[in-house]
Structure 1
Amino acid sequence: MKNSIIIIFITSMFFSLLGTTRLQAQDFNPKKNNYLILSKNLQQLKPVLLTANELAKEDSEEYGAFYVIICGKTVSGIPDNSDFNALLEDAKAQNVKVFVCAISLNKFNINPDQIPELLEITENGILYGFQLTKKGFITLTI
């Protein structure tokens, strides 16, 4: 029991250092239209990228950041997924930042080393989503 508590604590601290520190440094302009999609479906990334492209055209100079947070069981489909990796390349080209939830990775036994480098890890995807919403991001969950 004591060992389990220690392991959980160390794992939490590791993800805390890995995720939160890195994400606090994210740059976005709070005076522009910033968008966040919280998704539980990898296949939604393609229509999300189409949407980001249309919003960039529509908003023009008012277009800011576009973030996608992936969480839930769908993280199981990330390792070795060439179609998803191609979409991540498209996201990078469009300056769309894609994050994955460390809690979901942990729950579904996905080692962070198994995810593509183009994905950023956030310790708690739902919490990060709320934090971005408080900072003025327009948010949608799909």
Structure 2
Amino acid sequence: MIKKQISIFLFLLFASMVAIAQTTGEDNLLFLLRKKEHLAQALVTAEQLRSSEKTTTINPGEIVIILCGEEVKMLTEPSSVDLIKNAERLNVNVVACGLSLNKFNLSRQQLLPGVRYVTNGFIKAFELQKQGYLSVEL
């Protein structure tokens, strides 16, 4: 009888610890983007979420932005340096999709400093979603 009570107590203790961790933990976020203007909007969103004056239940941890499609070209252009620097300031990881780079005859070496690379943006997005990242696709 005592073993059963101890087992129940330990189970309830463990369950409550998991619930507390889930409600007080950080929310990792993923933006999967295909349009140039969405990158700037995602960075504004990241800044608002990281602000101490936020009015949301989202507690941002890691924020990843994966850019796919033709707009991946912008991640190689000098005109995007300020966007990438802003992302770094906000502790946001900007990632270029290798499939998209290949499609537009761009190489990994052409990416601006601070931009990360993945071979396949869709697979990376699936992996992050599987890890529990909250995601938005635009």
**TM-score normalised by length of structure 1:** 0.72
Q: Which residue of 1 aligns with 2:6?
A: none
Query: Which consecutive residues of structure 1, in runs of 5 or more, have no partner in the other structure?
Result: 1-29
SS of the counterpart of 1:104?
Answer: helix
Verify: 1:89 aligned to 2:94, yes or no: no
Cα offset, 1:93, TM superposition: 0.4
Which structure 2 residues correspond to residues 112-127 of structure 1 after superposition, within 5 A? Answer: 112-127=108-123
Verify: 1:32 aligned to 2:22, yes or no: no
Q: Which residue of 2 aligns with 1:100?
A: 96
Cα offset, 1:60, TM superposition: 8.4
Query: Which consecutive residues of structure 2, in runs of 5 or more, have no partner in the other structure?
Result: 1-21
Farther-moved stretch of structure 1 (86-95 vs 30-39):
30-39
Q: Which residue of 2 aligns with 1:10?
A: none
Equivalent pairs: percent with the same residue? Answer: 29
Q: Which residue of 1 aligns with 2:137?
A: 141
- Specify the code of the residue in structure 2 equivalent to 1:45: L
Q: Which residue of 2 aligns with 1:52?
A: 46
Question: What RMSD over aligned residues (CA atoms) do the two structures have, in Å?
Answer: 1.9
SS of the counterpart of 1:85?
Answer: helix
Q: Which has the larger radius of gyration?
A: 2
**TM-score normalised by length of structure 2:** 0.74
- Specify the code of the residue in structure 1 equivalent to 2:31: I
Choose between structure 1 and 2 for higher RCO, CA contacts under 8 A separated by at least 6 residues: 1
- Specify the code of the residue in structure 1 equivalent to 2:30: L
Instruction: Determine the C-alpha separation between the residues in 2 that align with 1:55 and 1:35.
Output: 11
Which structure 2 residues correspond to residues 65-84 of structure 1 after superposition, within 5 A? Answer: 65-82=62-79, 84=80
Farther-moved stretch of structure 1 (97-106 vs 49-58):
49-58
Verify: 1:42 aligned to 2:42, yes or no: no
Instruction: Determine the C-alpha separation between the residues in 2 that align with 1:122 and 1:137.
Output: 17
Cα offset, 1:79, TM superposition: 2.5
How many matched pairs? 112
Q: Which residue of 2 aligns with 1:63?
A: 60
**TM-aligned CA distance change 1:79 to 1:99, over 3 Å:** same
**Residue by residue, what CA displacement relative to the aligned partner does 1:101-122 show, whole Å, maximum 9, x if unpaired?**
1111111100222110210001
Q: Which residue of 2 aligns with 1:21?
A: none
Instruction: Determine the C-alpha separation between the residues in 2 that align with 1:80 and 1:67.
Output: 20
